[in-house]
Amino acid sequence: MNSADLTARIGSTPLLRICRIWPADSTVQIYAKAEWANPGGSVKDRAAWRIVRDAFERGLLGKGQTLVDATSGNTGIAYAMLGAALSFPVRLYLPANASHERKRILQIYGAEVVPTDPLEGSDGAIRAVRKALQEEKGSVFYADQYGNPMNPRAHYETTAEEIWRQTDGRVTHFVAGLGTSGTFCGTTRRLKELNPAVQCLSFEPDSPFHGLEGMKHMATAIVPGIYDERLADRKMECSTEEAHATCRRAAREEGLLLGISAGAALATAVRLACELEEVGKSAVIVTIFPDGADRYLSDSFWQESEKSHIPNPSAQTLLVLSAEHEAAIRAHGEKTYPHEACGALLGKAQKNRKEVCATLAVANAFGERGDLAEFAVSARESQANRYLIPPEEILRIEKEARRLGLDVIGFYHSHPDHPARPSAYDQEHAWPWLSYVIVRVAKGRSEDLASFVLSDDRSVFAPEEVKK
């Protein structure tokens, strides 16, 4: 197979009917483009090939010249595949916590991978590549998938046309997630030209604390240059937990092994279908499955059962939190808004009962302490998105607990303008058994407050009863 054979296989992916998770006899139909059928295994083959082809045509990229870009994984894999087939080197800036499978594939293709701060996600990779290019001497081609107009152009020219053809023009609703936003923006523009009545809905993670690889929570992320927020007829959200659960259901009920963003797409499409069916409408919903599960099989969520999200009442713990200490937590959250607040819970612990006797506010390594500035590329954004307790603060907490004759029984933190429930980031960094009190701070005022405990296997945060 030569390079022309390879690139000719990009696109023309199957359109699958969802028949069990969503009933086949409903007046609302759900279809999805199986983008894992592309030679590189994802929807990103389309954008990567259009970017590379345009660069070749304009003399921006030639054999031996290095293509450089930031990626969360799939576009990088597409670049690496094309680089191997068309004889140009590829250097990619990738969050260090990208799945093992993605990193392994890039290595096999021969791409150079520069790991970036895992806490900064795709935004950190973008910052890292921009900084490197400012300092680098020599000729490279910066593909810039987040700002290159060839990204949405690929979907304008191919994805939208395929959806129109494969549904015989019957498509009424298009649903796609936002990462670079190229898939949604490009496909939407063309579908609206073909039929202005088609409703195009975008979706994104429900929180900046999420585990939907490659997707962006636009309110707190670096907004891609190619994104046009005016295109969406409606904006929806999806939680990481809902995406994980849908991936497991799709495997058992549809025989489809979906990637995490594909699980989110199906979950969002099903929610939309429920709304339309309730009001008696007929519809043909089309969504995008960006990739398959082969790049996420090492992730732990596959082992979770649906029951794992239901806490065992007999094992549930009780946190005694006085009105005074609750008020201190709320006041701290309001004071630091729109950034996160965090503090330690010091107290006395028994078998299934913990009593808070003192709260201790702690500093956020993301931006609050100049001597730890290396932890944060952008203090303003990081403080609003997550919390990192520096090592010396941990020591201060332990010393204060010993001074008072108390134990460290947990931590509290605020979620600015987001629900008072643990995020994927919380689950990755929390310690089992300790209490995690979360307070929602909306527009500067504290609202919901709840406590959670992480299971020993780190698979689930169980709600904890709070008593005053």
Active site residue 122: no
Distance of CA 180 to CAs 183, 399, 405, 416, 466, Å? 8, 46, 51, 24, 41
Residue 218 phi, psi dihedral angles, 5° rounding: -60, -30
Say how far apart CA 208 and CA 386 lie, in whole Å.
Answer: 8
- Contact criterion met (CB below 8 Å) for 154 and 38: no
Verify whether residue 261 is a known catalytic residue: yes
- Catalytic pick among 72, 207, 239, 261: 261
Whole-number Å distance between alpha carbons of 85 and 420: 48
Distance CA 356, CA 404 (A): 12
Nearest to 450 by CA among 431, 436, 430, 432: 436
| 44, 131, 143, 403 from 155: Cα distances, Å | 10, 29, 17, 62
Please answer whether residues 143 and 79 qualify as being in contact, where contact means their C-beta atoms are separated by less than 8 angstroms. Answer: yes
315 burial via Cβ count (<10 Å: 0-12, 13-18, 19+): exposed
Q: How far is residue 267's CA from residue 30's CA, in Å, rounded to a whole number?
A: 11
Distances in Å between the alpha carbon of 222 and those of 182, 219, 281? Answer: 15, 9, 37
Q: Report the C-alpha gap between 201 and 199 in whole angstroms.
A: 6
State which amino acid sits at residue 288. I
* Extended strands (E) in 213-282: 234-238
Q: Are 234 and 141 in contact (CB under 8 A)?
A: no
| Alpha carbon distances (Å) from 185 to 34, 51, 143, 201 | 19, 16, 18, 10
- Which entry of 33, 42, 44, 99 is annotated as an active-site residue? 44
> What is the rounded CA–CA span in Å between residue 419 and residue 330?
14
- Check whether the bond before 338 is cis (ω within 30° of 0): yes
- Segment holding 70, helix H or strand E: strand 66-70
Q: Is 464 helix (H, G, I), strand (E, B) or coil?
A: strand
Catalytic residues: 44, 261
